[in-house]
Chain A
């Protein structure tokens, strides 16, 4: 066997690592390990000169293994694998030690952090010696896409794909397209009509021969792998023929299932459900769309109050900001003033979040239009009560105004509660069907929050719009089209690369006991009745290793996560 020659690179990451970890000392100590041919530190290993250093060392010093101790492999493993490829050696002859996220960023004591970083790097060195060269596999890329959800996100993604000439199955649970946006009147800050935004898109979707529209339908199951999924779509639960199911072959899935509004009834102190003219933002949108702003009693209200952050930014309900409510509230102030010029609008907010393009101007415009802005404390809340008969308004709102420091009472005939967004109740079911994760609030988790915001941890499944987190229309549309762009890129290549990391059965060692057969979530482990052997379909395998750990004959090998590699790592961290 070829002599193992390892290059070890300890990254300073500017001062991110070097300020707590003594990188030079680690290098000096580890350079004495057997098989370590080169050991260096550098300011930023991921930079071009950093990568070039590795490439040059591989060529000059005949390195055949590389260890980089730096950030998380989830960050830069691919970067460095590419560098190995550039230098002409197999990219899997690489191992990363995570000495930033899991060391320098979480420990302050230099001595213990350095010892830990050294142990992690040592483990990587011992492990990499056992690495084997692996080649990626290729599979065909099915050019059809399944889009779940017919809101603005789903419409945008579907159009992007279909107008490029690729088939789209657009699945919508309800009997109409448009999603939550179809319930909105105008949009902030430009006051474009939501109806206009949607009708054009819906017409294009309906007219496009590449879109197969499936209303009142939902995904029942999804199997297969990126480029080669089989989806079963059937009638949505409550309506339609439950036996009518379509089997669809798709290459990718875009999940655009959106959000649901927070149930204002959960907040007791605003009197929602008891006071007839306390309404939610969506109920008010309906009045705006109908051009008929009236109290329950049929009067035209004079005093309006808008309350922000209902269900959002709250200890009791959702901790997060729903992002669109502030500007929507200002939009209401505009629309009220233009519909009922003599009305008075009070806007009760915690902080005014006007972060988007044109939002600050919109806020200023609202102030100039004589909206009364009142700030209330984050963990306090305005109290809404019925006014005494004979008062000029129907309700009174008591608020501890933060800027003046005074408790004041304002009149209101209609109170609009700006209800936040929350994950849909069935979002967990969808997550399980397409195998993606949710965060603590139920939002779908992206592959990387900054660098890969529309992909998920399951290859071929993308997320766009408010199913991933509250966001406004431009962000939603951008995400939907970004997901479509990612898919189009793959369709253009026609082939998709399948990770070389999967399990494989050594037929000579397998005894056909079938312990592993029921363990695979993807049914990748098959039993050959003729040979009485189990085998793994590598295209279906997603490398979890459940069968590997279970195999009592050690007949199943987890490529790149072999027993031997992990044993070496255990020895390394403990030595």
Chain B
């Protein structure tokens, strides 16, 4: 630990690990980071214990990067801890930004998830009745604690105050690098900003030719032979590019897949899914409810597509009925 070096922490909440890999994907740049900064916590790569973080002074860390959603009590505890100990808290990646893929759990319920995972699943021992609970008594005076699994998934700023949002599932390595550099140089925009992303939509960067849009049938990418020079939407392939911040480098459309929306909504948009919905429905070429429904049938589970990375960030937050 060296006082002139930046003190940073990286953490994963409810995450897949992809964000950490994105940091590693900055390749040799990560060595420069290690040279310029003391990495005080980074579960995937360096040693560091919660209790060490707990012992820190408030604000001792210069920056903390939290990836993953807040799904259980441990996630929340560390989120609060890092907030307390760090001058800057960055929501790193789609999950902390908007809830991410774990956030899709908000379309179902804790009970259903536990049921599928532990009780009624072909890959578990038949008759299993054991479901994890936060506290298990062992003998008379010992209890075994595991984190409490919450009813719903939260994005990071539902739980703590967040300074910056670095979107992406995962964030593109060149953007990670740029943001880390900005932190090192102290060249950060006003608090609350989305960093490492553009203020315009993916279409701006997408090289495909766009035309006036009217969709009479939606195709999954494998159902059609694509023209790689033409806009996917114009070919009936659902793409959230028009509704999504650019900055990723047009990763999905360039490989023939519609944009999945991981960089989140554009500035001024209140609800990413609602805006995507409005744009997609607007170009459906039908006039009767039956005709329209027929065309929309080509999109399986639209809600999960529109809110693939952001159900917890939506106005509706979750399905409470489940």
Q: Which residues of A contact B (CB under 8 A)?
A: 508-519, 527, 532, 546, 549-554, 563, 567
Give the residue of B200, B211, B267 whose beta carbon is less than 8 angstroms from that of A514. B211
- Chain B residues near A527: list those with CB within 8 A: 212
- Chain B residues near A549: list those with CB within 8 A: 278, 282
When C-beta atoms are compared, the residue in chain A nearest to B242 turns out to be: A513
Give the residue of A509, A517, A551 whose beta carbon is less than 8 angstroms from that of B213. A517
A554 close to B275 (CB less than 8 A): yes
Give the Cβ gap from A552 to chain B, nearest Cβ, in Å. Answer: 3
- Jot down 30 A-B pairs with beta carbons below 8 A, ordered by A: A508-B199, A509-B266, A509-B268, A510-B200, A511-B200, A511-B201, A512-B204, A512-B210, A513-B201, A513-B210, A513-B233, A513-B242, A514-B213, A515-B213, A515-B233, A515-B279, A515-B282, A517-B212, A518-B214, A546-B282, A550-B278, A550-B279, A552-B243, A552-B275, A553-B200, A553-B243, A553-B266, A553-B269, A554-B269, A563-B268
A511 close to B282 (CB less than 8 A): no
B202 in the interface (beta carbon within 8 A): yes
B282 close to A550 (CB less than 8 A): yes
Bound Cα distance A553, B267 (Å): 8
Bound Cα distance A510, B282 (Å): 17
- Chain A residues near B269: list those with CB within 8 A: 552-554
Bound Cα distance A465, B56 (Å): 86
Q: Per-residue CB proximity of B262-286 to A under 8 Å, as 1/0?
A: 0000111110000110110011000
A554 close to B200 (CB less than 8 A): no
- Chain A residues near B275: list those with CB within 8 A: 552, 554
B241 in the interface (beta carbon within 8 A): yes
A513 close to B282 (CB less than 8 A): no
Which of B201, B202, B275 has the largest number of chain A CB atoms within 10 A?
B201
- Chain B residues near A554: list those with CB within 8 A: 266-269, 275
Give the Cβ gap from B58 to chain A, nearest Cβ, in Å. Answer: 35
A514 close to B282 (CB less than 8 A): no
Which of B241, B243, B270 has the largest number of chain A CB atoms within 10 A?
B243
B203 close to A512 (CB less than 8 A): yes
B283 close to A511 (CB less than 8 A): no
Which of B202, B204, B211, B231 has the largest number of chain A CB atoms within 10 A?
B204
A553 close to B201 (CB less than 8 A): yes
Bound Cα distance A283, B320 (Å): 71
A511 close to B214 (CB less than 8 A): no
Give the Cβ gap from B153 to chain A, nearest Cβ, in Å. Answer: 24
Q: Which residues from 19 to 58 on chain B have a C-beta closer than 8 Å to any C-beta of chain A? A: none
Closest 8 CB pairs of A and B: A552-B243, A511-B201, A513-B242, A550-B282, A554-B268, A513-B203, A511-B204, A552-B279
Interface size class of B (residues with CB under 8 A): 20 to 34
B268 close to A552 (CB less than 8 A): no
- Chain B residues near A553: list those with CB within 8 A: 200-201, 242-243, 266, 269
Bound Cα distance A515, B242 (Å): 8
Q: Per-residue CB proximity of B231-273 to A under 8 Å, as 1/0?
A: 1010000000111001000000000000000000011111000
Give the residue of A508, A510, A518 whose beta carbon is less than 8 angstroms from that of B212. A518
Give the Cβ gap from B105 to chain A, nearest Cβ, in Å. Answer: 25
Q: Per-residue CB proximity of B47-91 to A under 8 Å, as 1/0?
A: 000000000000000000000000000000000000000000000
6 new A-B contacts, CB < 8 A, other than A509-B268, A511-B246, A513-B203, are A514-B211, A527-B212, A551-B279, A552-B278, A554-B266, A554-B275
Q: Per-residue CB proximity of B195-217 to A under 8 Å, as 1/0?
A: 00001111110000011111000
- Chain B residues near A546: list those with CB within 8 A: 282
Give the Cβ gap from A470 to chain B, nearest Cβ, in Å. Answer: 33
Give the Cβ gap from B150 to chain A, nearest Cβ, in Å. Answer: 28
Give the Cβ gap from A155 to chain B, nearest Cβ, in Å. Answer: 39
Bound Cα distance A516, B213 (Å): 8
Bound Cα distance A563, B278 (Å): 14
Bound Cα distance A306, B138 (Å): 104
- Chain B residues near A517: list those with CB within 8 A: 212-213
Bound Cα distance A11, B268 (Å): 36
Give the Cβ gap from A548 to chain B, nearest Cβ, in Å. Answer: 10
Which of A511, A515, A563 has the largest number of chain B CB atoms within 10 A?
A511
Bound Cα distance A487, B278 (Å): 40
- Chain B residues near A551: list those with CB within 8 A: 279
- Chain B residues near A567: list those with CB within 8 A: 270
- Chain B residues near A511: list those with CB within 8 A: 200-204, 242, 246
Bound Cα distance A512, B266 (Å): 14
- Chain B residues near A514: list those with CB within 8 A: 210-213, 231
Q: Per-residue CB proximity of B179-208 to A under 8 Å, as 1/0?
A: 000000000000000000001111110000
Give the Cβ gap from A566 to chain B, nearest Cβ, in Å. Answer: 11
- Chain B residues near A509: list those with CB within 8 A: 199-200, 266-268
Which of A512, A546, A553, A554 has the largest number of chain B CB atoms within 10 A?
A553
When C-beta atoms are compared, the residue in chain B nearest to A506 turns out to be: B268
Give the Cβ gap from B322 to chain A, nearest Cβ, in Å. Answer: 26
Give the Cβ gap from A403 to chain B, nearest Cβ, in Å. Answer: 53
Give the Cβ gap from B133 to chain A, nearest Cβ, in Å. Answer: 40
Give the Cβ gap from B202 to chain A, nearest Cβ, in Å. Answer: 7
Give the Cβ gap from A53 to chain B, nearest Cβ, in Å. Answer: 38
A552 close to B266 (CB less than 8 A): yes
- Chain A residues near B210: list those with CB within 8 A: 512-514
Give the Cβ gap from B190 to chain A, nearest Cβ, in Å. Answer: 18
When C-beta atoms are compared, the residue in chain A nearest to B268 turns out to be: A554
Bound Cα distance A511, B213 (Å): 15
Bound Cα distance A264, B283 (Å): 47
Give the Cβ gap from A99 to chain B, nearest Cβ, in Å. Answer: 29
When C-beta atoms are compared, the residue in chain A nearest to B214 turns out to be: A518
Bound Cα distance A508, B241 (Å): 17
When C-beta atoms are compared, the residue in chain B nearest to A527 turns out to be: B212
Give the Cβ gap from A551 to chain B, nearest Cβ, in Å. Answer: 7
Q: Per-residue CB proximity of B214-238 to A under 8 Å, as 1/0?
A: 1000000000000000010100000
Bound Cα distance A305, B270 (Å): 72
- Chain B residues near A516: list those with CB within 8 A: 282
B200 close to A518 (CB less than 8 A): no
- Chain A residues near B278: list those with CB within 8 A: 549-550, 552
A519-B211 contact given A511-B201, A512-B204, A552-B266, CB 8 Å threshold? no
Give the Cβ gap from A507 to chain B, nearest Cβ, in Å. Answer: 10
Bound Cα distance A353, B87 (Å): 86
Bound Cα distance A294, B204 (Å): 80
When C-beta atoms are compared, the residue in chain A nearest to B201 turns out to be: A511
When C-beta atoms are compared, the residue in chain B nearest to A510 turns out to be: B200
Give the Cβ gap from A563 to chain B, nearest Cβ, in Å. Answer: 8
A552 close to B276 (CB less than 8 A): yes
- Chain A residues near B231: list those with CB within 8 A: 513-514
